[in-house]
């Protein structure tokens, strides 16, 4: 049993076995476990009573990893546990822990002992000179987080979020630290209410309810290496269906079949590419989940079939609240099977949401997740292709929605949750609730549609949520500040190992101006998840309502997204395979350049394509930082040497885009939806000046057969000097059959524009261009 207060003491004894060091530090006991040479787990708990693994833990179990060869060294003052990547040092006098790079530089070092109180603990780490801190999930404010305090408690803030709105929808205790000589990432395994405090110079303090300090540290030395290790631990996103990479159109609400058909027809009439239409809560019968309103949507199956003929998929919103109604099958079935959370007195834990009084499934139980997943067949059988999970912080209302809803609250924290073998309370599960609902949604769809990739979207969640779903950042506002804030939010989600993310283009609350919508659509067309969405009671926010000029801008940039789908899809595949972000802050590829640490208004999509959006009204030019190397203006072809700022023109119709030398960018034909045409012709844009490589990934874009190896990869290499540029295309590998097609190879070197064409049958090919 823990004392009222505990701190680390001198090392009394230790033992070392396999990949683990056990240390007796007085009352607290420590376990240092290397899971990989680059990944270590440090656990400390008073009394040495380490908690068993829970079924809902986000991290993989230790037994998943192989034994790591280590060397234990001791001196008069310290224990040193060496892997071939980095070292853990434990001070003998104080038991303070620090990590050391291969050349002996300190990182993730205790500045003082962790402290345990009766119901909480905190640790304080030293911020080293030159370090920059990223990640922490979807937070508002600046991208680099020193100076900020952030609470991990899944919450619907109820107002458009901003720099000082805290907490927010997601709780992601993952962060990435970059400095010129090192990079490391941290996952703090604490699902209860907690906080990061970086508001005091030189230190990071983490405080949490509970008694076990459990931290995973991954060492780079490069940022992408760190994220590969963190994502192996926490899980990687599944490869989405290709249509999910298209544009999504949504509103609260397209309230009838007539509205939906009109939106679909107008998008095609105006040639604005789109793959998915989202249905918000008004498609349901009285907001009862897994139902349809018989008057407004009399034949959903026929509607969805007709939309599919036009190239559309349909995603429907689902909330966790189940209306209390004895005539309602979902409620009746759940009540009979004991699927819902009860309060500490044994009665159903009810609360108000859209359908007024509701109950809530206990997603921490596997049987409840299976039950919920099976109910999705009510939607999937009608042809629905995507499930949009909302309100799953879980967010409840102070009073019935029919009476105005009032302030937001959540379930009672002492409500019991979990199976009989691992009983706990909502205080432990709360931050996980959205992730567990997303897991139920994903796993249910896999059972119901075992060979089809479905799309899942979620508002709340915890670390590791990328295994189950796409995430969006919740209810933003139609203002320039939120357009700018979206950049840091999405970049930090990627730095938290959550790559498939987006925000509501145009803003959810309020009314966008034409200029704001145009600028938002320009960068929004390159979001990993690209969706326009707006709130009931606001003006319509479809691209054509802002006038012909904005409509044309929206069409041009969405057309560009669809042409870039071969590039996007290959980058997504790499994210699924290695855990790399799709959107990358400049420091991801230029960590030795501290200038990049505070640039959040530029983004790399993959390695080679860089966008510099306009984020302020009236701006018609902007400063753009070009990192070291050679860069090309996408639009004009102008060549620049990097390591400096340039002034880029940006009239309303133009968002500055740049391409790094060495790039091989694959583009497809113009399309109105992702499956409209085969990838023929395929156009490869070459940007010489550095050697480069790109692997084009292809599969059927919809089935799960890629997991059995049914895909193909084509590796392309670019080399160049002042006289010649050479593209070498390796023979296509893999078992996915690609039809014979035309490939246009375009050399864009800032001096001339050359094109060669050949018929691609999968064989090796070399293409050369003279540059003199």
- Quickly state the pLDDT bin for 753 (edges 50, 70, 90): confident
**pLDDT at position 297 over 70:** yes
Q: What is the 3-state secondary structure (H, E, C) of 361-411?
A: ECCCCHHHHHHHHHHCHHHHCCCCCEEEECCCCCCEECCCHHHCCCCEECC
CA distances from 61 to 65, 113, 190, 215 (A): 8, 27, 15, 14
Question: Domains plus CATH for the chain?
Answer: 6-234 (2.60.40.1760), 242-577 (3.20.20.80), 664-770 (2.60.40.1180)
pLDDT at position 407: 82
The single-letter DSSP state of residue 208 is E
pLDDT at 752: 81
**Known catalytic membership, residue 390:** yes
Q: Which two tokens stand for residue 648?
A: 């880029």
Longest dimension (CA), the chain: 83
Tokens found for residue 661: 């030398």
Confidence of residue 158 (pLDDT cuts 50, 70, 90): confident
Which of the four pLDDT bands, split at 50, 70 and 90, describes residue 175? very high
Q: For residue 387, which of 401, 400, 402, 377 has the smallest C-alpha distance?
A: 377
**In contact, 78 and 90? CB cutoff 8 Å:** yes
Q: Which two tokens stand for residue 718?
A: 């670019």
| Phi/psi at 737 (5° precision) | -80, 125
Give which of 269, 86, 62, 265 is closest to 182, Cα–Cα.
Answer: 86
Nearest to 636 by CA among 585, 687, 574: 687
Average pLDDT over residues 516-543: 98
Determine the pLDDT at residue 164: 79
Catalytic member of 356, 393, 698, 749:
393
Dist. CA 90–CA 99, nearest whole Å = 9
Report whether 466 contacts 497 (CB < 8 A).
yes
Convert the pLDDT of each residue in 183-204 to its tens digit: 999 999 999 999 999 999 999 9
pLDDT (tens digit per residue) in 356-388: 999 999 999 999 999 999 999 999 999 999 999
Q: If DSSP states are collapsed to H, E and C, what string results for 107-129?
A: ECEECCCCEECCCEEEEEEECCC
Catalytic residue among 98, 110, 390, 601: 390
- Confidence (pLDDT) at 404: 87
Could you report the per-residue pLDDT of 88-100, keeping only the tens digit for each?
999 999 999 999 9
Please check whether residue 96 is in contact with residue 110, taking contact to mean a CB–CB distance below 8 angstroms. Answer: yes
pLDDT band at 1 (very low <50, low <70, confident <90, very high): very low
Say yes or no to pLDDT of 750 above 90: no
pLDDT at 2 over 60: no
pLDDT tens digits along 307-339: 999 999 999 999 999 999 999 999 999 999 999
Cis previous bond, 328, omega within 30? no
* Average pLDDT taken over every residue of the chain: 97
pLDDT for position 756: 98
Section 758-762 average pLDDT: 98
Q: What is the pLDDT of residues 102-157, one digit of tens each?
A: 999 999 999 999 999 989 999 999 999 999 999 999 999 999 999 999 999 999 99
| Residue whose structure tokens are 């931050």 | 431
Please tell me which residue in 38, 166, 232, 475 is annotated as part of the active site: 475
Give the range among 47-51, 158-162, 259-263, 649-653 with minimum mean pLDDT: 158-162
> Residue 3 — pLDDT band, cuts 50, 70, 90?
low
DSSP bridge partners of 317:
388
CA distance 79 to 185: 23
Please report where in the chains the tokens 């040495």 appear, as a residue: 48
Please state, in angstroms and as integers, the Cα–Cα distance from residue 726 to each residue in 505, 634, 693, 719, following that order: 40, 20, 12, 5
């Amino acid at each position: 049993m823990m004392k009222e207060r505990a701190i680390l003491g001198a090392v009394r004894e230790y033992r070392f076995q396999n990949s683990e060091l056990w240390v007796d530090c007085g009352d607290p006991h420590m376990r240092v476990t290397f899971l990989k040479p680059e990944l270590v787990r440090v656990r400390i708990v008073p009394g040495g009573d380490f908690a068993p693994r829970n079924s809902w833990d986000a991290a993989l179990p230790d037994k998943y990893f192989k034994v790591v060869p280590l060397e234990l060294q001791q001196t008069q003052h310290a224990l040193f546990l060496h892997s071939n990547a980095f070292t853990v040092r434990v001070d003998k006098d104080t038991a303070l822990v620090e990590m050391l790079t291969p050349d002996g530089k300190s990182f993730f070092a205790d500045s003082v002992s962790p402290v345990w109180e009766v119901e909480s603990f905190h640790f304080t780490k030293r911020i080293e000179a030159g370090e920059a801190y990223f990640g922490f999930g979807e937070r508002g404010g600046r991208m680099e987080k020193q100076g900020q305090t952030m609470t991990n408690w899944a919450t619907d803030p109820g107002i458009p979020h901003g720099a000082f709105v805290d907490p927010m929808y997601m709780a992601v205790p993952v962060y990435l630290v970059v400095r010129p000589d090192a990079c490391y990432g941290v996952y703090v395994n604490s699902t209860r209410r907690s906080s990061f405090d970086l508001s005091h110079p030189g230190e990071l303090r983490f405080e949490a309810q509970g008694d076990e300090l459990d931290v995973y540290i991954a060492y780079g030395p490069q940022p992408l290496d760190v994220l590969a290790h963190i994502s192996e631990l926490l899980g990687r996103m599944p490869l989405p269906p290709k249509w999910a990479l298209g544009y999504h159109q949504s509103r609260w609400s397209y309230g009838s079949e007539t509205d939906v058909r009109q939106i679909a027809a107008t998008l095609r009439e105006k040639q604005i590419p789109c793959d998915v239409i989202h249905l918000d809560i008004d498609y349901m019968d009285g907001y009862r989940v897994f139902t349809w309103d018989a008057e407004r949507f009399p034949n959903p199956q026929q509607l969805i079939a007709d939309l599919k003929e036009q190239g559309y998929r349909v995603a429907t919103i689902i909330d966790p609240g189940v209306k209390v109604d004895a005539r309602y099958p979902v409620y009746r079935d759940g009540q009979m099977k004991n699927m819902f959370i009860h309060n500490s007195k044994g009665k159903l834990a009810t609360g108000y949401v859209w359908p007024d009084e509701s109950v809530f499934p206990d997603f921490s139980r596997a049987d409840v997740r299976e039950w919920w997943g099976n109910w999705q067949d009510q939607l999937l059988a009608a042809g629905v292709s995507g499930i949009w999970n909302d309100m799953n912080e879980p967010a409840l209302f102070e009073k019935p929605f029919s009476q105005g809803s009032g302030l937001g609250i959540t379930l009672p924290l002492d409500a019991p949750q979990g199976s009989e073998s691992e009983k706990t309370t909502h205080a432990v599960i709360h931050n996980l609730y959205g992730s567990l609902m997303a897991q139920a949604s994903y796993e249910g769809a896999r059972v119901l549609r075992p060979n089809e990739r479905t799309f899942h979207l979620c508002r709340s969640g915890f670390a590791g949520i990328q295994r189950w779903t796409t995430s969006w950042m919740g209810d933003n506002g139609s203002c320039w500040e939120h357009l700018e804030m979206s950049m840091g939010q999405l970049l930090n989600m990627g730095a938290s190992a959550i790559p498939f993310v987006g925000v509501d283009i145009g803003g959810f609350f309020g009314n966008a101006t034409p200029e704001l919508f145009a600028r938002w659509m320009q960068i929004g067309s390159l979001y990993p998840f690209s969706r326009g969405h707006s709130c009931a009671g606001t003006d319509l926010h479809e691209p054509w309502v802002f006038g012909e000029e904005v409509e044309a801008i929206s069409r041009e940039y969405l057309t560009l997204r669809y042409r870039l789908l071969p590039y996007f899809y290959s980058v997504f595949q790499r994210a699924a395979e290695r855990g790399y972000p799709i959107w990358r802050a400049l420091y991801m590829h230029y960590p030795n350049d501290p200038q990049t640490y505070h640039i959040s208004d530029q983004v790399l999509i993959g390695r080679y394509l860089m966008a510099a959006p306009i984020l302020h009204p009236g701006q018609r030019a902007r400063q753009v930082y070009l990192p070291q190397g050679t860069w090309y203006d996408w639009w004009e072809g102008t060549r620049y040497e990097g390591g400096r700022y340039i002034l880029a023109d940006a009239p309303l119709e133009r968002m500055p885009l740049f391409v790094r030398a060495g790039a091989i960018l694959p583009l497809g034909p113009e399309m109105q939806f992702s499956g409209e045409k085969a990838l023929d012709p395929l156009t490869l844009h070459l940007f010489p000046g550095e050697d480069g490589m790109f692997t084009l990934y292809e599969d059927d874009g919809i089935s799960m057969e890629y997991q059995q190896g049914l895909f193909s990869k084509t590796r392309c290499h670019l080399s160049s000097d002042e006289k010649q540029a050479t593209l070498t295309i390796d023979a296509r590998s893999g078992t996915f059959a690609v039809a014979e097609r035309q490939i246009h190879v375009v050399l864009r070197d800032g001096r001339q524009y050359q094109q060669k064409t050949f018929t691609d049958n999968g064989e090796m090919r070399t293409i050369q261009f003279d540059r003199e």
